[in-house]
Amino acid sequence: MCELLGMSANVPTDICFSFTGLMERGGKTGPHADGWGIVFYEGAAVREFRDSTPSCHSEIAQLVSHYPIKSCNVISHIRQANSGAICLENTHPFVRELWGRQWTFAHNGQLKGVKRLPLGCYRPVGTTDSEHAFCWLLGQLRERFPKPPRRPQTLWREIRRLCEQLGAMGVFNMLFCDARQLYCYCSTRLCWLTRKAPFSMAELKDAELSVDFRNETTPGDVVTVIATSPLTENEQWNPMKAGEFRVFRDGVLLL
């Protein structure tokens, strides 16, 4: 299956270190060689990079791994194709607008029968079950809430309910973001860690690279990283359980 990477932070932060580990899994230390993508939130806009080549060989991925783009919310994905051809339009993450916000979605797993779910105004560009699920999910939110609900918890409950409906169709590990909150749903495999003071050294599993975050941060920084499987050797990651739904904002676990 594919692998996911997400970040939620309270100050604009680059994801070069974690992305360097993930990109090695895209055809070198892992089999996820069918394309990759990453989305950075910057204010109300997003900066997107995608490539249908393996991330371990992609010159665009090399650029991203060395270019310290600062963001408070990031979603990335490396693909092992099981639904849809290997091409740019089938490469995650996918982005659409709802309520004047850019929503980003990335998924790993297979969803049997998901294309029988009726779609509204959102339509897939590619042919993956993942993009169909995303279009259905956003369409359901637009239909249920023509305007964004006043209480964030109302929206969280509805997203969780829709995730559970999709999760009943197969494997549904998901990252979903609206520039404010980063939502995570685990069907089989997803884990997270939060880095905050006192910071320490971190060592990647998939590349010979370590960072002493004491030299890269300030005492008030809070950064949460979400991944399919732990990216570092020497840190304690929190595995999510099947059916678990989490919400992060500014690096902090809200739900």
Please state, in angstroms and rounded to a whole number, the distance separating the CA atoms of residues 74 and 19: 10
In 3D, which of 63, 61, 68, 16 has the Cα closest to residue 35?
61
Looking at the annotation, which residues are catalytic? 2
Contact 55, 36 (CB under 8 A): yes
Three-state SS letters, 16-51: HHHHHHHHHHECCCCECCCCEEEEEEECCEEEEEEE
Strand partners, 37: 50, 77
In 3D, which of 84, 74, 82, 1 has the Cα closest to residue 37?
74
Tokens matching residue 68: 């310290």
Strand partners, 103: 96
In 3D, which of 202, 252, 254, 253 has the Cα closest to residue 231?
202
Please state, in angstroms and rounded to a whole number, the distance separating the CA atoms of residues 92 and 40: 13
